[in-house]
């Protein structure tokens, strides 16, 4: 974004313009204003989707099982990698750019 656009006065109209540009992680549901969608990028097949779901379940199960033991629960590296990839995609970078503009 050009410096000229950023330095314009912050009116309500301008904030709404910036909101449309930067608040992109959640897509509102047209039928229900209390619901929003988040898009997760995966390889284009159902096996990848099932792998991600399986990784989330495995990490959760191992965390629960380890809760009652003194040792660190074992998690497969593949499951950890998949789970961390989802966590990275959940980070709202465009929204943080907007917040930086507002400070």
What's this model's pTM, rounded to 2 decimal places?
0.55
Instruction: Give CA–CA dist 22/16, Å, rounded.
Output: 10
Q: Residues near 97 by Cβ (< 8 Å), separated by ≥ 6?
A: 22
| Number of neighbours of residue 38 by Cβ within 10 angstroms | 10
Report pLDDT digits (tens) over 44-89. Answer: 788 888 888 888 888 888 777 766 666 666 778 888 888 888 888 8
State the residue range of the domain holding 47.
3-102
**Cβ atoms of residues 59 and 80 within 8 Å:** yes
Q: How many domains would you assign to the chain? A: 1
Instruction: Give CA–CA dist 2/5, Å, rounded.
Output: 5
């Amino acid at each position: 974004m050009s410096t000229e656009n950023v330095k314009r006065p912050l009116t309500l109209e301008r904030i709404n313009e910036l909101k449309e540009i930067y608040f992109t992680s959640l897509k509102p549901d047209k039928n229900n204003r209390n619901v929003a969608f988040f898009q997760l990028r995966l390889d284009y097949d159902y096996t990848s989707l099932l792998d991600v779901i399986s990784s989330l379940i495995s990490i959760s199960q191992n965390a629960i099982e380890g809760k009652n033991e003194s040792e660190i629960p074992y998690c497969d590296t593949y499951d950890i990698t998949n789970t961390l990839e989802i966590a990275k995609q959940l980070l709202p970078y465009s929204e943080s750019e907007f917040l930086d503009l507002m400070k």
